Structure formats: C-alpha cells, structure tokens
Structure 1
Amino acid sequence: MNIEQLKDMKNSEEYLLAVNVVSELEQVFDIEIPDSEVGYLAIHFSGKQFIEIKPGEENFVITSKIDGIVKHILSEVKSSYNIDFTNDFELRMSLALHLVPMDIRLKHDMFLRNPLLGEIKQRYTLAYMLATSACGVLKKHYKKDIYEDEISYIALHFNLALERNRSTIAKKNIVIVCATGRGSSSLLVYRFKEEVGAYLNRIEACDVGQLKYFDFDRVDYVITTVPIPFSVPKPILEVQFFLDEGDVKALKNFLSGKTTFSFSEKFDSRLFISHLSASTKEEVIRKMVDRIKEVKTIPNNFYDLVMKRESMAVTAFGNLVAIPHPCEVIGDETFVCIAILDEPIIWESVEVQFIFMMSMKKDRDENMEAFSTMISRLLLNPAYIQKMIQTRDYQTLANCFNQIEEEMRSE
C-alpha cells in the first residue's frame, strides 16, 4: 500500500477499528505491526462492511459513480432478458448499497466466499442469470473477472425483486363456460369467488353456444367445465364442475401467472443435436448457430452476439452444463437449441458436455419465469443431465420436462 492510499484510509472509521485491533495484537504477542499492515486490515473491514442507515447518524450518500453503474446494470438486464427493473427503487438502492463494499473488494482483489453459492444457482437460477448479466457490466468497468461468489450475492438482490413482482397479483377477468343452465353456472361463479376471488376482477358465465358470440376483449382467460369444439383467442383452463383441491391449486397457479409453457413451442426437435463433435466452445457455438440458421430466421450477427455475451460473463453453470445466449433479446420468439457433445470439453475452465443455447424474444414473455424455473430444475439436476447424455433422445427431454411440471404442480 502506497503512502497516498494510507493517508486516505487514516480518516476512515475502518482504519480506527484496525488501529484498535492491531494495538491489542501488539500487546498480546509483544510484536510491532507496521502502518501498512494496519491499512490492509482496514481495507478488509471496508470490503466486508454491511451498510445500515440509522436515524440520527451521518448521511450516507451514494456516489454518482455507483448510481451510474447500477443504472447500467439494470439497462443491461433489460436488454438481455427483457425484464425491466428500472423503476424498482428498492432494487436500485439495495444494489447500490451492495456495490459500495464490493467496489473496495474489486479494487484490492479481495475474495468474499459465499457458502450458499451452489444452492443459489440451483434454487434461484433466473436471478443468478440476471446477476451474471449484471456482473458483465462490472467486469467491463473494473476490467476484472467477477467471481461466482460475488455473482451469487448480487443474485439474492435480484431474487428479492422477482419475489416482490410475484406478490403483486394483477386481478384477471374470466368467463366460465358450463354445459348446463343459469342455476349451475351461478353456483360455479359463487365457488370461484369463494376459492380464488383474490385473483379475480370480473367473472362472467355462458354456455358453449353463447361462447361463439362472446366478446373476448372483455376477459383474460376462459375457464371451462366442458370441451370447447372451436378456436377461441384466449388461454383456456379445463376444470371439473365440482372443483376439487387439485383444481383449486391449478386455478391459483393459472391466475397468478404460475403457468407452464408449451414444450414444443420452445423446444423444436430440429434444434436438438444429439451428437456434436467439437473441441472448443467457439466451435460448439458456431455449429449450433449454423443449425439454428437452418431452422429459424435469425440476424446475421447472432454468433457475434453470443460471443459478446461469452466475453462479458460466465455461462458454464457446472453439472456439465453451459448456457450460452445472445447479449440482447432478438426476434419474435423464444427458442432453445440443445447440443450434446460426443466428449466433454473445457469451457471457461469447467468441463461441459450439455449445451443449452437459448434466445429470448423482444416482447415480454409472460411464461419466462415458469420457463426459467423448469430449465433450472433440468440443468442443475445431475440425474436429468446424465440421463440426457446417456440416451441423447428428444423424447427423453420431453419426459424430463413432464416430470418437472408434475413436481411443480404438486408443490
């Protein structure tokens, strides 16, 4: 530590704490500790501080530099995942408060271990992916790689923001379709109000014949107790007339947005590469992009956008899995290309054999959270990945997702 750095530290609260600690150590061990060591100890205190603002204490001011980094982070997340946190003041503040000690750690190459790293990656995969994108901004700013432990701490802030969004339920308008008359439909409407009224704004009822002439602009969903033999422009959920516990749970998941996604819609069998021979991640990505071009309409710079993301943040998640993707949302659909390598390769110092390349659509995907939850359960479960590597079969993939969907419905 040079003299100027030491001078700057001497006025800080952490330096005074370090002086007291060093004084105790000198007395106990009968040694003399130089000022530079006091400075290094102060840096460690600064890098691990928890910032809590209390009434009556001196104002804590977030610098324009830190605020600018946070804004850049949220802009990057919006660009990459089409999830907009720019108006989430609580997230902005929590990230800024987190970055103050993190700024010190990065400047002085300090390592802060997170014992919950594995659990965070597995349970909060979407949040971890958002944090990985965020740390691409930090990597560029500090010109240093960001450890996974640091990424996982930032993931916790994003997960809290996602949880806040989940707890805010937008009430829905529905039409209930029955096969019988007004009396039975009125009974079903009453039961809906009783069981899931907190999720509903307006409930209408009709029979199948009336549904042909119904104004679907008035509702968000169609709930039916009978098959509907013609196409309707709204999502449909079939339930029994006498709602059982499973129906009520399915209704709550459906109305709260905890819906699953169409497997075939996002997983085109033509983009399932059961055998891929490659020796580097660049070769893998190039071959996968070439396959995507045969099936989907993608921009000419798709490969460059994926490689830009690779330069910004880690995409190897462990468990032999890598999740490369473009650094920005592109196109009109979300899709996935899967490749299983003939032999594992080293990908960012990690062994990888199962590659899950995805591209997100520009418009907001209402099923994004369900999608990310299901893929996280697939990709971070060693049993599923080993089964996929052994069978190399598209139907096995579909079966795994069906099993995951059943697990989620029973929770």
Structure 2
Amino acid sequence: MEKKRIIKLLKILSQSQCPISGPELCTKLDITVRTLRNDIKECKNEFLQHGIQIISKHAVGYTLQVINEESYYHYLEDMMKEESENQMLIPIYPEERVNYLIRMFLTQNDYIRIEDICDMIFVSRSTLSNDLKEVREKLNYFHLELETKPAYGLKITGSEFHKRSCISQYFYHTNGNDDMFLSQTKSSQQQEEISKILYETMVNQKFKLTDIGFHNLVIHIMIALLRLKEKEQLTHYKYDESIKNTKEYEIAIQLCREIEHSFHVIFPDIEIYYIALHLSGKKAVQYSSNSLFMNHEYEILMTQIIKEIKDKYNIDFTADMDLQTSLSLHLQPMMNRLKYGMYIQNPLLEQIKTENPLAFEISVLTANIIAKNYQVDVSENEIGYIALHFALAIERYQKQGPKKNIIIICASGMGSSQILLYKIKQKFKENINSIYVTELYELPNIDQSLYDFILSTVPIPFPTQIPAIHVQYFLDNQDMISLSEFFKNQNEMSFVDQYFHDNLFFNDLKGKTKEELIHEMCTYIKQVKDIPNGFEEEIFKRENYSVTEFGNMIAMPHPMEPMTNETFITVGILKKPIKWKHQQVKYIFLLSIQKNSKDALGLLHETLSSLVYDKKAMQELEKDSSLTNLKKILKRIAEEQKENDIDTLFG
C-alpha cells in the first residue's frame, strides 16, 4: 500500500467522530472495496508495530484505535517527511506536480532550465507546459510571477513579503489545512517559544487574534527567522509609512524585541513592518452589537451593498443591524489585507459555496461593489468569509430567532463562531441563557464555573472544568444528537415542474471547454427565451470571480446578478465529462433567476445541496439521463428530506 494512501486513510479515520462505512471510505480514497480490504490486511502488522489498529465491524464500519500515541505520531512524522517535506517521491498527478513545482521554485534563487525540470519529474515538455500554466495562475494569486529568461530557464520573481505568503501556504499548509498532521510534523521547540512570546505580547497589549491568525503569525515568524538565517536579500517592497502610526506597529516592535532577545537575531525595520501588516490583517474584534459605532466610510458602503441586494435579490437587510455591525467589523482587517496584497486561506470555502450558494452569490455581488469602490481584487477566499455573515442574515431573514450557559470556541474567527451561535439558538433557543464566543488560547483564563459546557470546532488539548463537545464547523446529524442529549422547515422542490422544461434540456452538446459549452447553451436559450444583451458576458464575469463547479461532476453557471423576467434552468448533459477548471463536469445546470424574485432564496440551495451530495442519485441519472428521470430524482429527494427532517448547512 502506497504511503500517500496510508496517510489519507489515517487522516479520514482520525478525523471522524463515528465509524465510517466501507463504501464511504472507498469513495473518499477512490478505490474499490476489495482494494480497501487488501490494503488493511497488508498493513495490519505494520500498523500494530506503530501503535494503531483499524477495527472493522460488520454493518457498522471502520474505526481507528490508537494504542500507543507516541509511536503513532512518530510513524506519521516519518511518512509525512518522506512524502512531502523532503519531496523524495516524484509527483504523479497534475495537481501534485503543480504543488511540487511551486515548492521547487520557492527554494531556488537561480533560474532552472525547462529541460532539467522535465528530467527531474519525468514528464514531456508539452505536459510541463500545461502544468506551468497552472503554476503561473497560482503564483499570481500571491502577486508573484514565473519569469522566463531565454537560455537560462525559469524562476519566481516578486517581493519577499509575497514569497513568504506563498511559502507559508505550500510548505506549512500542504494539502489544505491538515492541522492534525501539521501539528505533529511541524511542531518544534522554536514554534512553542514563538507561540509563548506572541501570546504574552497579545495579552499585555490587549490585542485579539483569531486562532488561525495566531497560528499563521507564528508560522510567518518562523519563516522570517529561517530567511534571515539564510541571509536572504529582501527585494524592494512599497513601504506604507502610515502604518508606523498604528497600534499594530507598536505591538510589532515589542514582539520583535522579545524574539530578538530569545533567538539572538536582529530584525531589520522591514521585518517589523511585515509583522505589523500581519497584525492589521488578522486581528479579531469581539462581537458586540451595542458597542460599535460604524465607521462613516463603511456606513456608506453598507448602505450601497444593502440597496444592491434589495434591488437584485429582493431581500431587505435594512433593519438587520447585526449584519451591518458584524460585516463592518469584518471589513476593517479585510480592507487592510486587500490594500497590502495579503493572502488569506479559507478552509471552509468549498463547503460554503456548496451548502449555502445564495449567501455566496450575494457575497460575490458585495465583492464586486468593493472592487469598484476601492480598486482592489477580492479573492474567492475573502468572498467565502463574507458569505458567512450573509448566511446568518438570510437565516434571520427567513425565521427570526434565543437556558444553559455555553462557551463556543472556533478557530477561524467571528464568521464561523456566529454560524454555530445562531445554529444553536435556532434549534435550542428555549434551553439557552447565554453564549460566550472566544478563542482556544484564551480558554484557560475564563471562569468555566459560570458555564455549563463548551462547544469547540477544534480539539482541546488540555483538561476542562466542564464538559466539552467537539463539533464540526457546520453541525452534522451526530452533532445535533449529541447536543440534544445535553439539552434534554423544510425545503420543497416545488420548482421542479415549474422551471425544468423540454425545450431547455440538452444531452447532445458539442462544446469541449467551459467557454464553448456556456456559449452553446446561451445560443440555444436565445431561441426560446427573451434574454437581455450581455447575458452571456455576465455568466463569464461570475465565473471569473469563482468557478461554479461543485463536485459530483456538477457545474452551476449563472449571470453575475438576476437579469431575466422569469426564472428558468437550462440543463446540459455531456456524453463525456470535461475539465471545468479544477474538477470534471458532466452535468451543467445554467440558472437564470427572475429579477426581484424570492425564488433565489430556495432554488440555488435546493438544486445544489440535493444533487452535489447524493452520489446514488447521480448514478441513477447516469443510467437514465432523461429530463423525466431528473425530475423524478429531484422530487424523491424532496420527499426524503421531509421524512427525515435532516438539516443542511443553514436550513
């Protein structure tokens, strides 16, 4: 069994709160049931030697039993070093090659010849050329370029600040946000010392960071120490003198002095500046709807955003002061990040896009307004965080929501914390007295005797005085059962017959690319529907913000904003899947929502959440790709949702 699959298997099992069925595990690993059984049998003795055992129970599933934690973590560390840190294994798949190439360029100061790269990773020049297109796209996100010099080759160019942001992503956040593995393979005495200094500085200065912001700043300082030790020359970076007058700069000076004393280094002024930028872009503000007097600039911006949402989606957030307060608080550090070109990671992005698409669409509209007003690029990671605020606002809009005292701990800041807060209030409002939201590192300083239990989206590595429940960012069924024990609306697919019609159903499309298929479908739509000029252009504009591929081979393209006088869905089913951007797509649902219609509140969410997560339904559609069968499947899913009364993200 290859090490990559062992790592993925252990990761899946270790992060699950309950047994995982064989078919589900096989789907996640992209292998057959027979292969899974053979792999576990083959590695049984190796696992036992390293302090772990995989238990299989008939009709229940697979669980991971850790017998010896120290041996287990050493085992993980050895595999991760071989697999990624030391880059001993040659990448096979395109995504692996792209990440490998980025790491390689980041560790080289000189040009690398294309021929040498081809020999290094055993690919043809044409294959490498395709990979380099994606490398350039990913580097561009960090404001870096892949410079080509004839007869010399390729190398990364850009500011040291942006190189470090990229290093942080590709060396310290490999394969997303694998905290469980990274905490074991990246931990060191140096990291612990930096964390201690940073925490003490934040407490002394009464400055708050989110848990993720805290972790990322520790990583930034580790990278800074490494680069200074290697005597890396800092490239020119435009220095904003105004930041010297901020509290963040004062804190950065104190922090650097403490680190200099502990690690016997000298931080140049530019390093203090970098840390001040990090602080300004990652600070957390304690939520309080009564304590914020909104910045006049943001008040004007919020008024414009709320008006645009009302005009285009017929949703009026004018009276929702919670939204205006929380979003304004979010905008302050976000605008600093945008101003200085700082990268931010959003581990919830794909789940947010898939499970609450309406909030994401409203956030795309918001990002477009911000981009126009401030001449900045708003990434889809930022859009995802904005969407958390709108998701809560939509829930309040649809159903106004709160007796136990609860502490909520969430690593990624106010947006995610507020999701949990409102979800809990909605389901258990009769049982709640108060909820306090905080970060993990502040928990030991809180008087826990005043509360009944803790909800945390991250494991708590130390004993607590009161019961603690580990839950997902988005509460699943098991979480709800656990919470119900402590505490001792359903969507309808009514649009199925109304919006799916034979004259907008195509299973013989000829396009080979995303662009060709969208153009082809728009051409067909024009023959049967009255669509305005610029309809197709608005679809591509929306795709440029964030592609509408959602997994399970489904794409959901649509205009940037509601444009037509009626709601309709155009369905395209391909003979063979095509690569949309990152994922394979075979089923295209091109939506157009009626202007000033409330249909958008349910339509996007219903279609995506019902099909994207239902592999069985898509297998049925694969066998019979007729419109009649598609409508039958959607109606059946709606009935199952009524019977089971299972919540999705914000339903």
Q: Please give the TM-score of this superposition, normalised by the length of structure 1.
A: 0.69
Aligned ranges 1:274-285 → 2 under 5 Å: 274-285=507-518
Contact preservation (8 Å) 2:570, 2:590? yes
Matches within 5 A, 1:40-119: 40-52=274-286, 62-64=295-297, 66-119=298-351
Q: Deviations over 1:198-227 (max 9, x none)?
A: xxxxxxxxxxxxxxxxxxxxxxxxxxxxxx
The alpha carbon displacement at 1:298 in A equals: 2.5
- Is the 2:573–2:587 contact (alpha carbons within 8 Å) kept by the matching residues of 1? yes
Instruction: Please report how far the alpha carbon of residue 259 of structure 1 lies from its aligned counterpart in structure 2 after TM superposition.
Output: 4.8
In the alignment, the residues of structure 1 paired with residue 322 and residue 267 of structure 2 have an alpha-carbon distance, to the nearest angstrom, of 42
Secondary structure, counterpart of 2:630 in structure 1: helix
State the one-letter code of the partner of 2:595.
Answer: K
Residue of structure 2 equivalent to 1:290: 523
Give the secondary structure class of the aligned counterpart of 2:508: strand
Q: What does residue range 198-237 of structure 1 map to in structure 2 within 5 Å?
A: none
How far residue 89 of structure 1 moved from its aligned partner, in angstroms, is 3.0
Q: By how many angstroms is 1:124 displaced?
A: 2.0
Is 1:22 equivalent to 2:256 in the alignment? yes
Question: What does residue range 382-401 of structure 1 map to in structure 2 within 5 Å?
Answer: 383=615, 384-385=617-618, 387-389=620-622, 391-401=624-634
Report the Cα offset of residue 79 of structure 1: 4.4
Indicate the residue corresponding to 2:594 in structure 1: 361
Which residue number in structure 1 is paired with residue 58 of structure 2? Answer: none
Q: 1:333 to 1:151 in 2, by over 3 A?
A: same
The AA in structure 1 aligned to 2:265 is: I
Of 489, 497, 521 in structure 2, the residue corresponding to residue 264 of structure 1 is: 497
d(CA) in 2 for partners of 1:306 and 1:125? Answer: 15
Secondary structure of residue in 2 paired with 1:402? helix
Deviations 1:2-40 (A, max 9, x none): 899453222212112211211111011111001110111
Determine the structure 1 residue equivalent to 2:570: 337
Shift of 1:98: 0.9
For the residue of structure 2 that corresponds to 1:85, the secondary structure is coil
Distance, in Å, in 1 between the alignment partners of 2:566 and 2:300 is 32
2:387 counterpart residue number:
155
* Aligned position for 1:176: none
* Greater displacement, 36-45 / 10-19: 10-19
In the alignment, the residues of structure 2 paired with residue 318 and residue 104 of structure 1 have an alpha-carbon distance, to the nearest angstrom, of: 33
Superposition deviation, residue 267 in structure 1: 0.9
Q: Is the 8 A contact 2:339 2:376 kept in 1?
A: no
Match of 1:33 among 264, 267, 285: 267
Match status 1:12 vs 2:242: no
* Shift of residue 122, structure 1, vs aligned partner: 3.2
Structure 2 vs 1, CA of residues 391 and 132 (structure 1 numbering), >3 Å: closer, same or farther?
farther
Deviation, structure 1 residue 292: 1.6
> 8 Å contact 1:80–1:133 — kept in the other structure?
no
Counterparts in 2 of 1:80 and 1:306: CA distance versus 1, 3 Å: farther
> Contact 1:378 / 1:401 at 8 angstroms: preserved in 2?
yes
What number of residue pairs does the alignment pair up?
322
Question: Is the Cα contact below 8 Å between 1:374 and 1:404 reproduced in 2?
Answer: no
Distance 1:370 1:312, change over 3 A: closer
Do the aligned partners of 2:289 and 2:322 also contact (CA within 8 Å) in 1? no
**Contact 1:26–1:32 under 8 Å retained in 2:** yes
Which one-letter code corresponds to 1:270 in the other structure?
N
Alpha-carbon distance change, 112 to 301 in structure 1, aligned in 2, over 3 angstroms = closer
SS in 1 for 2:271: helix
**Aligned counterparts of 1:320 and 1:329: Cα–Cα separation in 2:** 25
Residue identity (%): 36
Tell me how far apart the structure 2 counterparts of residues 407 and 321 of structure 1 sit (CA, whole Å): 21
For 1:283, the aligned partner's letter is E
Q: Deviations over 1:246-277 (max 9, x none)?
A: xxxxxxx48xxx55423111111221112312
- In structure 2, the CA distance between the partners of 1:116 and 1:369, relative to structure 1 (3 Å rule), is same
Q: 1:55 to 1:301 in 2, by over 3 A?
A: closer
Q: Whose RCO is larger (CA < 8 A, sep 6+)?
A: 1
Is 2:368 aligned against 1:136? yes
Moved more, 373-382 or 260-269: 373-382
Shift of 1:311: 4.4
User: Retained in 2: the 8 A contact 1:378–1:400?
Assistant: no
C-alpha distance in 2 between matches for 1:14 and 1:162:
34
Q: Which residue does the alignment assign to 2:612?
A: 380
Shift of 1:356: 1.4
Instruction: Give the 5 Å matches for 1:123-202.
Output: 123-141=355-373, 143=375, 145-168=377-400
Cα distance in 1 for residues equivalent to 2:311 and 2:622: 33
Question: Which sections of structure 1, spanning at least 5 residues, go unmatched?
Answer: 170-252
Cα displacement string for residues 46-97 of structure 1 (whole angstroms, at most 9, x for unaligned residues)? 101112377999x765141x33443343344344433333443332222221
Q: 1:385 to 1:146 in 2, by over 3 A?
A: farther
TM-score with structure 2 setting the length: 0.45
Q: Is residue 616 of structure 2 the alignment partner of residue 370 of structure 1?
A: no
The 2-side partners of 1:161 and 1:21 are apart by: 38
Opposite residue 32 of structure 1, the aligned amino acid is I
Query: Which of these residues, 530, 537, 542, is aligned with residue 304 of structure 1?
Result: 537
Counterpart of 1:275 in 2: which secondary structure?
Answer: coil
Aligned 8 A contact 1:310 1:324 in 2: yes
- Structure 2: stretches of 5+ with no match in the other structure: 1-160, 162-235, 402-488, 646-651
- Whether the 8 Å contact between 2:563 and 2:595 is mirrored in structure 1 is yes
1:323 to 542, 556, 559: 556
Q: Partner letter of residue 125 of structure 1?
A: P
Q: CA separation in 2, counterparts of 1:11 and 1:100? A: 16
Q: Would the alpha carbon gap of residues 343 and 107 (structure 1) be closer, same or farther in structure 2, given more than 3 Å must change?
A: farther
Q: Which moved more, 1:69-78 or 1:261-270?
A: 69-78
| Letter matched to residue 336 of structure 2 | I
Distance 2:562 2:293 in 1: 36
In 2, distance between residues paired with 1:27 and 1:56?
41
Partner Cα distance (2:603, 2:287) in 1: 38
2:507 alignment partner, SS class: strand
**1:363 and 1:14, CA in 2 relative to 1: closer, same or farther beyond 3 A?**
closer
Query: C-alpha distance in 1, partners of 2:290/2:318?
Result: 30
Work out the CA distance in 2 between the residues paired with 1:269 and 1:56.
Answer: 53
Q: SS of the counterpart of 2:267? A: coil
Kept in 1, the 8 Å contact 2:289–2:321? The answer is no
Distance 1:71 1:390, change over 3 A: farther
